Amino acid sequence: MTSSGPIEIVATRGGAVESRHRVHAVVAGPDGDLVSVHGEAGLVAFPRSSLKALQALPFVETGAADRFACSPAELALACASHEGEDMHADAVSAWLARMGLDPSALACGPQWPRREADMARMIREGRQPGRVHNNCSGKHAGMLATALHMGEPIEGYAGREHPVQRRVFDAVSAMTGMDLSGAPVGIDGCSAPNPALPLGVMAVAAARFAEADPARLGDVRAAACRRLQAAMADAPEMVGGTDRVDTDLIRAFAGRVFSKTGAEGVYFIYMTEKRLGAVLKAEDGAPRASAAAVWNILAELGLLDGEAEAALRRHCRPEIRNWDGLVTGRVAEASEV
Amino acid sequence: MTSSGPIEIVATRGGAVESRHRVHAVVAGPDGDLVSVHGEAGLVAFPRSSLKALQALPFVETGAADRFACSPAELALACASHEGEDMHADAVSAWLARMGLDPSALACGPQWPRREADMARMIREGRQPGRVHNNCSGKHAGMLATALHMGEPIEGYAGREHPVQRRVFDAVSAMTGMDLSGAPVGIDGCSAPNPALPLGVMAVAAARFAEADPARLGDVRAAACRRLQAAMADAPEMVGGTDRVDTDLIRAFAGRVFSKTGAEGVYFIYMTEKRLGAVLKAEDGAPRASAAAVWNILAELGLLDGEAEAALRRHCRPEIRNWDGLVTGRVAEASEV
């Protein structure tokens, strides 16, 4: 195992460092072995939306995804933090309708589309954002599908003690190998519960999801992991959206590597070929810092080949532009400045 | 002098710490004495928009403000990072028109109003944001006024070597007592140049602006400091806008304390009665962290009385709410959690 301090990411202006970030990152294997640690492997953090692929496991494992004949795009949406583009909102609406539900069943609150052009178009058309536009609406549709399939009340499905969430927490507990009964539980941006976990524990869970080994996880769970991976590889535009890190990364790696961002500067990286997982957390919660550190982790593991580098440079080593479009600085690892 | 480590600000979720920030802060007097230091007084940072009151000094000192019969609201706008509300955009447009200019003379780029409701209204009305909506348009109007008054070309007025900017840099150099010829210069969000300076040096300059002593600064500069202070106290809504820290702080203190935020987590605080200045910089650039630390500095100096506390709590100790309006956490100093 290699270890170092946190990955130092800086934002520059006029060639000088303007702001500094520290990103803790852990790369681990499925046996619980830590491959590399930057900063503190024991740092407890909320995975937020980075956890979504694991949270989607019961939706597949219970048979709910099959019951409602869910497409790869819908499975990808269950793992997504989408941008609320029409393709996302329309897909979630259609999926809900097929289950006999309307968007009012979603516990996630209304959220404007992330991209200014989409938001502006809705405003011009006199529309308000709906719950389907919430970046987590696909995850919630998957949770509703699970409740319906299992004959559980859909009311209160986002509550920690509802069977749907208990099943999600059990899956996370099994994948991490950690008893979650004492873990802090936060309420996410979409009102679903989210456990805080040490980075090292999350990285091992990510490796197990990436490996998807029936001998380790059992046939049903291993198949669910592979099916969710295949869905994300098939419909990467549903995992994020236009001009998003996760979408561009998944597309560039074509099934060999997956990533999932979470609020407050978190990333999960699933490396299927290498059977490794990585978790990153910007100490201060800055998304620009965690996105930049994804580049470092991929490079460290020899994964930053030409195609990935081309796809990710604008996300991970972005220029900073001002209101008139002038380049005023950049985001980089500290040693690059 | 008291000294400590950086002020530690945290964002919580579900009662646990989710993200951590370090805010460096220096309180100084006009003689160059440091009253209190949190973190590194020597940390070099770009003051960004926090510098605006000092950048506005030549606009008053040259007689440009009198030449164009500028109102207190216009003087306040010259010191402002406004929200692009109608009151701001209309005031800057009228001011430019009185000088025979239209908004295309502004070097600052077009920027949507900060508040969603203002932006949505403009979109519904089929309007695009203009340069007058840029949060710095008042500063730029003051710079244009200076160029016109001094008979200098308005073309290129935002360039570092234009007489307008040379005069601004000279004023900052005199107020800080620091030769700026070797200082890093960044291009600001509004395309104007901005020097990077040590926090301690900036805090002393802030104290000198607050003190406004003719014996120290000369009659003209001291009068300019007082006139800008009076203007900000008279029209605090022009310094920031609806629901902004600076506006609410200036209003609560009624001329005894002024603050000015800057991008990437910077604050200047001018304490006129106490003849002190303070500068804060969130190491990672997070505005939520620097706003929270303003509360600590005011408390440390015995300034957080009932009225100020009531006005500032929602800015400096905010609840964090999700898309459905649920409170999911809060921002606080680490020891409060």
Per-residue pLDDT of B110-137, as tens digits, reads 999 999 999 999 999 999 999 999 999 9
Picking from B21, B111, B282, the nearest residue to A323 by CB comes out as B111
User: Closest-CA residue in chain B for A24?
Assistant: B19
Confidence category of residue B161, pLDDT binned at 50, 70, 90: very high
Task: Compute, in degrees rounded to 10, the torsion defined by CA atoms A223, A228, A233, A234.
Answer: 100
Q: Distance (Å) from the C-alpha of residue A269 to the closest C-alpha of chain B?
A: 20
Residue B30 has, within 13 A of its CA and on its CB side, a CA count of: 21
Measured between CA atoms, the residue of chain A closest to residue B282 is A19
Q: Give the domain ranges of chain B.
A: 2-336
Q: Pairing relation of β-strands A257-262 and A266-271?
A: antiparallel
CB B116 within 8 A of CB B29: no
C-alpha separations of B159 from A332, B167, B170, B191 in Å: 27, 12, 14, 8
Q: What's residue A6's pLDDT?
A: 98
What pLDDT shows up at residue B312?
A: 98
Residue A100 is given by DSSP the state T
> Side chain identity at B321, as an amino acid letter?
R
Per-residue pLDDT, A315? 98
Closest-CA distance, A23 to chain B, in angstroms, reads 11
Cβ-Cβ contacts under 8 Å, A112 against chain B: 116
Contact B134 A323 (CB under 8 A): yes
Give tens-digit pLDDT for B83-116: 999 999 999 999 999 999 999 999 999 999 999 9
Q: CB-hemisphere CA count at 13 Å for A264?
A: 23
Q: What b-and-e string marks burial along A103-129, b requiring 16 or more CB atoms within 10 Å of the CB?
A: bebbbbbbbbbbbeebbbebbeeeeeb
Interatomic CA distance for residues A92 and A241, integer angstroms: 14
Contacts of A15 in chain B (CB under 8 A): 184
In chain A, what residues touch B111 (CB-CB under 8 Å)?
323
- Looking at the predicted complex, does its ipTM rise above 0.90? yes
Chain A residues whose beta carbon lies within 8 Å of the beta carbon of residue B191: 322-324, 326
Residues of chain A contacting B43 with CB distance shorter than 8 Å: none
* Other residues' Cβ atoms within 10 Å of the Cβ of residue B203: 30
- Percent of the residues in chain B that have a pLDDT greater than 70, as a whole number: 100
Picking from A106, A329, A298, the residue whose alpha carbon sits closest to that of residue B194 is: A329
Helices (H), chain B: 52-55, 57-61, 64-67, 72-78, 86-98, 116-124, 137-149, 163-176, 199-211, 214-217, 219-234, 236-239, 245-253, 287-300, 306-316
Distance from CA of A196 to the nearest CA of B (A): 8
Six-digit token string for B148: 């016109």
Q: Residue A243's Cα: distance from chain center in Å?
A: 15
Inter-chain touch B264–A191, beta carbons under 8 Å: no
Please tell me the distance from the alpha carbon of residue A141 to that of residue B228, in angstroms, as a whole number. Answer: 56
B2-336: CATH topology is: Beta-lactamase (3.40.710)
- β-pair partners for B197: B45
Q: Distance from A47 to chain B by nearest Cα, in Å? A: 10
Quote the minimal CA–CA distance from A235 to chain B in Å: 26
> Which of B15, B286, B328 faces A284 most closely, judged by CB atoms?
B286
Residues of chain A with confidence (pLDDT) below 50:
none
